[in-house]
Amino acid sequence: MSVNGTISHEIASLLRDEILRSQYRRGERLPSERDLAARFNASRGAVREALSQLEQLGLIRILPGGARVQAIDAASIAILGPLMAIDVLPDPLLVDQFLQTFGALAALTARSAINQASNEEMRNLQGMVERLGKHAGDFGAMQTRWREFLEYLATVADNLVVRLIGNDLKAQFVEQMMNLGINPVMKPATIKQLVNSLKLALASKDAELAATTIQMQFDELRMAVGEAISLKQASYQKQAV
Amino acid sequence: MSVNGTISHEIASLLRDEILRSQYRRGERLPSERDLAARFNASRGAVREALSQLEQLGLIRILPGGARVQAIDAASIAILGPLMAIDVLPDPLLVDQFLQTFGALAALTARSAINQASNEEMRNLQGMVERLGKHAGDFGAMQTRWREFLEYLATVADNLVVRLIGNDLKAQFVEQMMNLGINPVMKPATIKQLVNSLKLALASKDAELAATTIQMQFDELRMAVGEAISLKQASYQKQAV
DNA sequence: CGACCAATTTGGTCAGACCAATTCTAACTG
DNA sequence: CAGTTAGAATTGGTCTGACCAAATTGGTCG
Q: Report the pLDDT value the prediction gives residue B2, as an integer from 0 to 100.
A: 47
Cα dihedral B138, B140, B141, B145 sign: positive
Contact B164 A97 (CB under 8 A): no
Closest CA relative to residue B142, chosen from B103, B111, B177, B188: B188
| Nucleotide closest in space to B66 (CA vs C1') | C10
- Stretch B128-143: mean pLDDT: 77
Residue nearest to nucleotide D13 (CA to C1'): B6
CA distance, residue B190 to nearest chain A CA (Å): 21
Please provide the DSSP assignment of chain B as one string.
--SS--HHHHHHHHHHHHHHTT-S-TTPBPPPHHHHHHHHT--HHHHHHHHHHHHHTTSEEEETTEEEEPPGGGS-GGGHHHHHHSSSS--HHHHHHHHHHHHHHHHHHHHHHHHH--HHHHHHHHHHHHHHHS--S-HHHHHHHHHHHHHHHHHHH--HHHHHHHHHHHHHHHHHHHHHT------HHHHHHHHHHHHHHHHTT-HHHHHHHHHHHHHHHHHHHHHHHHHHHHHHHHHH-
Listed by start position, the domains of chain B span 7-75, 79-240
Using CB atoms, which residue from A77, A107, A164 is nearest to B80?
A164
- For chain A, the average pLDDT equals 90
Nearest to A188 by CA among A145, A149, A135, A226: A135
Cβ of residue B205 lies below 7 Å from strand C: no
For residue B45, say whether its CB is under 7 Å from any atom of strand C: yes
User: What are A56-70's pLDDT values in tens digits?
Assistant: 999 999 998 899 999
d(CA A115, CA A205): 8
pLDDT in tens, B177-220: 877 777 788 888 888 899 999 999 999 999 999 999 999 999 99
Q: CA of B159: which chain A residue's CA is closest?
A: A97
Closest CA to B195 of B174, B183, B185, B209: B209
List of chain A residues whose C-beta atoms are within 8 Å of the C-beta of residue B73: 160, 163-164, 167
* Contact present, B177 and B84 (Cβ < 8 Å): no
Chain A residues 95-154, Cβ below 7 A from strand D: none
Q: What percent of chain B has pLDDT over 90?
A: 67
Distance CA B23, CA B91 (A): 18
Confidence check: pLDDT of B79 > 90: yes
Low-confidence winner among A25-34, A123-132, A154-163, A229-238 (lowest mean pLDDT)? A229-238
Q: Which of A30-39, A82-91, A147-156, B61-70 has the lowest mean pLDDT?
A: A82-91
pLDDT (0 to 100) of residue A85: 87
| For A63, nearest residue in chain B (alpha carbons) | B4
Q: Which bases along strand C come within 7 Å of a protein CB atom?
A: 9-17, 20-23
Q: Return mean pLDDT, chain B.
A: 90
Query: Which of A49, A52, A167 to mutate: most B Cβ within 10 Å?
Result: A52
What is the least distance, in Å, from the CA of A199 to any CA of chain B? 23
Asked if the Cβ of residue B192 lies within 7 A of any atom of strand C, the reply is no
Exposed e or buried b per residue across B166-196, where buried means at least 16 C-beta atoms within 10 angstroms of its C-beta: bbbbebbbeebbeebebebebeeeebeebbe
Give residue ranges of B with CB < 8 Å to any A CB: 4, 8, 45, 48-49, 52-53, 55-58, 62-63, 72-80, 94, 97-98, 100-101, 104-105, 107-108, 112, 159-165, 167-169
Least confident of A129-138, B88-97, B152-161: A129-138
Sign of CA dihedral B159, B160, B163, B169: negative
C-alpha A154/C-alpha A156 separation (Å) is 5
Angle of the A92-116 helix axis to the A207-240 helix axis, nearest 10? 160
Second-level CATH architecture of B79-240: Up-down Bundle (1.20)
Q: Is the pLDDT of residue A3 over 60?
A: no
Among the partner-chain residues B8, B55, B161, the one whose CB lies closest to the CB of A101 is B161
Task: Test B159 with A100 for CB contact under 8 angstroms.
Answer: yes
Measure the CA–CA gap between B172 and A165, rounded to whole angstroms.
13
CATH among 3.40.640.10, 1.10.510.10, 1.10.10.10, 1.10.357.10 for A7-75: 1.10.10.10
